């Protein structure tokens, strides 16, 4: 019988499938469609210290092999996530959940994690360091090894739970940033976040998205994700949560062979809300097809 279990930072998952933050809300919306307890876990909507309305509309633009989005971290703020969203989630999900946290200063990251740390059903913190640091001249934490290590060290001081730092692919050298996160005390890294992209409306001769640029995701970015996961796996000893264009059980296995312990499914959830369930159901037969008995044994198997 195929064994789909993997261990992510000391917590065992029934399978490596994790809906990505921003594509699965706080889970209970999808629980109306199927039993979300079949998931390994999921990363809930990016949460900030204060409520955020997000960017002006339009925020979405379709592309030939993916999509652009510039939602802008719209969320109700950490206090309402604790008082309203998590209680609703607990009624439909009985596994540890991954808390995705964003911020615009080290203080905001630290305070958001500190407030969420007491919630027993949070198993991991996925710390998104792709947001601009408005207190540091607009620099993004995720594009500087020094800043990445600094925010990792700061968050490490306020929680004993596993910290997984989410890395931006919009850099020259993702390896140096992953190593800086490891040095700062990260328990894992997740990659890749969206690539920066843009589309122009030919009739209007203006950018389609009000924000002008947006995050490009979908099947087209998978080769970039495979390459970056492969490179980071060779450079760090901590586990990798892989993501970027995965939409099938074969894609999941490919990212795991590159070095991912678990795989997040993002844009495909917006195309097919049953995507994660379908991938989980397909995994055993695809494992049999490729002679895989135990998924955890293939992690980094392409090296």
Sign of CA dihedral 42, 238, 194, 296: negative
Q: Give one DSSP letter per residue of 69-131, joined into a string.
A: E-----B--HHHIIIIIHHHHHTT--S-EEEEE--SSHHHHHHHHHHHTT-TTEEEEEEE--S
CA distance 53 to 59: 12
Within 8 A by CB and 6+ apart from 102, the residues are 46, 47, 48, 73, 109, 112, 128, 131
CA distance 254 to 246: 9
Q: What is the token pair recorded at 201?
A: 């409306």
Q: Contact, 257 vs 242, CB < 8 A?
A: no
Tell me which residues are annotated as active site. Answer: 131
Q: Contact, 217 vs 66, CB < 8 A?
A: yes
CA distance 263 to 34: 20
Residue whose C-alpha is closest to residue 197's, from 20, 102, 69: 69
CA distance 218 to 25: 18
Q: Identify the DSSP state of 205.
A: T
Residue 185: cis peptide before it, omega within 30 degrees of 0? no
Residue whose C-alpha is closest to residue 238's, from 167, 293, 151, 157: 167
């Amino acid at each position: 019988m195929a064994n789909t279990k993997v261990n992510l930072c000391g917590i065992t998952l029934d399978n490596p499938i994790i809906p990505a933050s921003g594509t699965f809300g706080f889970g209970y919306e999808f629980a109306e469609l199927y039993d979300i307890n079949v998931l390994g876990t999921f990363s809930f909507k990016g949460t900030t210290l204060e409520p955020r309305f997000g960017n002006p509309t339009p925020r979405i633009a379709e592309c030939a092999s993916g999509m652009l989005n510039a939602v802008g971290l719209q969320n109700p703020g950490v206090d309402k996530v604790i008082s309203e969203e998590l209680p609703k989630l607990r009624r439909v999900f009985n596994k540890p959940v991954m808390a995705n946290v964003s911020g615009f200063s080290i203080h905001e990251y630290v305070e958001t994690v500190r407030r969420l740390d007491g919630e027993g059903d949070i198993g991991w913190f996925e710390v998104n360091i792709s947001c601009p640091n408005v207190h540091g001249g607009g620099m993004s934490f995720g594009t500087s090894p020094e800043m990445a290590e600094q925010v990792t060290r700061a968050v490490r001081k306020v929680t004993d739970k596993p910290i997984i730092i989410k890395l931006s692919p919009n850099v020259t050298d993702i390896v140096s940033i992953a190593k800086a996160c490891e040095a700062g005390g990260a328990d894992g890294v997740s990659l890749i976040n969206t690539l920066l992209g843009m589309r122009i409306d030919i009739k209007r001769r203006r950018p389609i998205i009000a924000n002008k640029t947006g995050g490009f995701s979908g099947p087209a970015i998978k080769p970039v994700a495979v390459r970056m996961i492969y490179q980071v796996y060779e450079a760090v000893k901590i586990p990798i949560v892989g993501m970027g264009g995965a939409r099938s059980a074969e894609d999941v296995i490919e990212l795991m062979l590159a070095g991912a312990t678990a795989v997040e499914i993002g844009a495909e959830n917006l195309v097919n809300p049953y995507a994660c369930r379908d991938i989980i159901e397909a995994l055993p037969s695809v494992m049999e097809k490729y002679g895989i008995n135990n998924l955890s044994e293939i992690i980094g198997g392409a090296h």
